[in-house]
Amino acid sequence: MAPRKSLVLRNANFRALWLSATVGVLGTAVASIALPIIAAVELQASDFAVAALAGMTFLPWLLLGLPIGVWVDRWPRKPVIIWSLVGRILALATLPVAYWLGVMTVAHLFIVAFIAGLSAVFFSLADQALVPQAVTKEELVEGNGLMTASGASADAAGRGIAGWLSVVFGASNSLLVQVGTSFASLVAISSLKLTEATPDRTERHIFREMTDGLRYTFSTAPLRAILFNAALWNLGGSMVASLMVLLIIRTLNESEIWLGVLMAATSVGGAVGGLSAKWITEKLGSGPVWRWSMVPGVFGYASLLVMTPGTGMIPGLIGMFVMGVSIALNIVVGTSFRQRVCPPGMMGRLGAATRMVSWGMLGIASIIGGLLAELVGIREAIFIGVCLAFAAPLVALLGPLRTVRQLEDLEPEESTAG
């Protein structure tokens, strides 16, 4: 019997979503390295500003995620993705132009990062809502695994070249890569032929729908446990991630290239985790994989504390790879479960409410990390972040899902909630 073709080859709609998301991640990865380098090197911003900048792209989730989730459930998702990409392209293009004219400021950098993050809210919620419509329930783990793996691979490639691009061409000029990849993502999503369900046109109240989304997100023990696990990890982990540029460039006096290499190692690990998620969950069960996945991730982040210049960077390289594998496994299992149990008409609101809490932590954590860097020092702030991240696996190991072997077994009971 011939082996079954990959989901990317046999499903044209999934392929369009996969291509759009993957090339978009490539550009976003370059920008994620370039933006803090612009602040730290080209603009000589304070430690607080450099760390807090990382949170600007996630702050829209906290401030506007819920109403955007309602709108995404009301509108056809494909046009939402297209217009979000147009907004991202226009905003990012202003930074290289400002650099060429010599008028770039830290405030301009923060505004563009916020707008890019806002466009990402629309893009991510609409994209996530389309995936369950493009594949069957049985294909969700495979589809999310491919999305996670290819996204992590693109992220690794983008972060890997970002440091080099920043050194050779300048960090501001390297943002042109994301402008180009956003355009490529626009072309890919335009080929999507999926027939979407007609949105409900009856009169509805936005605040009631926002409340419905929050209520559904907290309505069952599995959804609550997955949410708290992600939120705690993002709170501690994002503090660490936002301080990496300061640790490498200002504490260890290493090149921007090392920043890209370390972040690329995370993404390579993410690709490995995403590709192996289906096999590992089939062998061990989705419950144990979800509960234990973040334990090695904590030690991965902790490896940054023992790094020294030169070959002393290698422990961090290994640690970030391990962290990438861990987080990818956790994301694939958690996302697949939410997509299985959530009604299609609730997907935007569930995604918004979930990410308002979990991704909103990324914005808060970066600001806290910047403050701690100023008050107690960069290494000390990273240590605090690692300790906070350790609370995430504790929630999984000691919480209500501590004995569940297959999260999918909970579907029949939980899928009617809300």
Distance between CA atoms of residues 301 and 383, nearest Å: 9
pLDDT surpassing 60 at residue 418: no
The C-alpha atoms of residue 326 and residue 29 are separated, in whole angstroms, by 19
Given pLDDT bands bounded at 50, 70 and 90, which one contains residue 202? low
Higher-confidence position of 204 and 404: 404
What pLDDT, on the 0 to 100 scale, is given for residue 401?
82
pLDDT of residue 204: 58
Q: Is pLDDT at 267 greater than 50 in this prediction?
A: yes
Q: How confident is the model at residue 252 (pLDDT cuts 50, 70, 90)?
A: very high
Q: Give pLDDT, residue 415.
A: 39
Pick the CATH number of 7-191+205-414 from 3.40.50.2000, 1.20.1250.20, 1.10.3230.20, 3.40.50.1820: 1.20.1250.20
pLDDT at 16: 85
Global pTM reads: 0.72
End-to-end CA distance of the chain: 43
Inform me whether the pLDDT recorded for 1 exceeds 50.
Answer: no
| Whole-number Å distance between alpha carbons of 88 and 184 | 13
What does the pLDDT read at residue 414? 41
Asked if 236 and 392 count as a contact pair (C-beta separation under 8 A), the reply is yes
Over residues 142-151, mean pLDDT: 78
Q: Name the percent of the chain lying above pLDDT 90.
A: 27
What percentage of the chain exceeds 70 in pLDDT?
Answer: 91
Q: Model confidence over 79-117: pLDDT tens digits?
A: 888 999 999 999 999 999 999 999 999 999 999 999 998
Q: Are 40 and 52 in contact (CB under 8 A)?
A: no
Q: Over the chain, what is the mean pLDDT?
A: 83
| Residue 1 CB neighbours (<10 A) | 3
* Mean pLDDT score, 130-144: 76
Q: Which of 258-262, 310-314, 401-405 has the lowest mean pLDDT?
A: 401-405
Question: What Rg value do the Cα atoms of the chain yield, rounded?
Answer: 20
Measured CA to CA, the distance from residue 238 to residue 312 in angstroms comes to 23
CA distance 319 to 297: 8
Residue 3 pLDDT: 55
Q: Is the pLDDT of residue 192 over 60?
A: yes
The segment with the largest mean pLDDT, out of 103-117, 146-160, 253-267, 387-401, is 103-117
Interatomic CA distance for residues 134 and 151, integer angstroms: 18
Contact 297, 241 (CB under 8 A): no
Residue 46: exposed, middle, or buried by beta-carbon count in 10 A (0-12, 13-18, 19+)? middle
- Region 40-64: mean pLDDT is 87
pLDDT given for residue 416 in this prediction: 37
State the pLDDT at residue 315.
95
pLDDT band at 189 (very low <50, low <70, confident <90, very high): confident
Task: Render the burial of 131-147: b for 16+ CB within 10 Å, e for the rest.
Answer: bbbbbeeebbbbbbbbb
Distance, CA of 65 to CA of 95 (rounded, Å) = 25
Domain boundaries, given as residue ranges, for the chain? 7-191+205-414
Lowest-pLDDT range of 10-14, 213-217, 285-289: 213-217
- d(C-alpha 149, C-alpha 147), whole Å: 6
Q: What is the pLDDT of residues 333-348, one digit of tens each?
A: 887 877 777 776 666 6
Q: How confident is the model at residue 69 (pLDDT cuts 50, 70, 90)?
A: confident
More reliable by pLDDT, 14 or 303: 303
Name which residue leads in pLDDT, 146 or 85: 85
